[in-house]
Amino acid sequence: MKAVLDHPVFFLPDREAPYVLKHVYERIVDGCRQDMIFDFGDSHLFVHVDEDTDSFVVDFVDSVFFPEAACSKIDSTAPWHRWLGKECGWTWTAHNSQGYLDSFMMSFDGVVPNVLIYAIASSAEVYLITPLETLAELAARRGK
């Protein structure tokens, strides 16, 4: 068994121009967040949950995104609002021990991961990544 992938998954092709996050959309189907779209203006990342395997199918599309009626813009909702206008720094992909690509991370305005997106029960769930030190600081402030 090798420790690294032979063919690592790069969500965003390498280029000179930054991938600046313009909008974020989601499509909810029967209560499940089936799709997420990260709109970079001139291109977008289409994230789809395969309901049969709870894994992700991710497509980079090198063209403008035109949302369908079923897509909701979630720009103003947490946590996305804080990253609009920021550059998507790096992305990380993770295959679980069963071999499925079921999670990935993204960073905005830096290369420290900010958000983890995980596929479960046919839905993409969004987790915020927060350093332990920050959590401890917040807890201390609340305790005062």
70 binds another protein (CB under 8 A): no
Identified binder of another protein from the candidate list 22, 27, 53, 87, rule CB under 8 A: 53
In this structure, are residues 40 and 88 in contact, taking their beta carbons and an 8 Å threshold? yes
93 binds another protein (CB under 8 A): no
128 binds another protein (CB under 8 A): no
5-36: buried (b, 16+ CB within 10 Å) or exposed (e) per residue? Answer: eeeeeebbeeeeeebbbbbbbbbeeeebbbbb
122 binds another protein (CB under 8 A): yes
4 binds another protein (CB under 8 A): yes
Identified binder of another protein from the candidate list 8, 31, 131, 143, rule CB under 8 A: 31
The C-alpha atoms of residue 3 and residue 49 are separated, in whole angstroms, by: 26
In this structure, are residues 21 and 86 in contact, taking their beta carbons and an 8 Å threshold? yes
Interaction site with another protein (CB under 8 A): 1-6, 29-32, 50-55, 95-96, 98-100, 102, 120-123
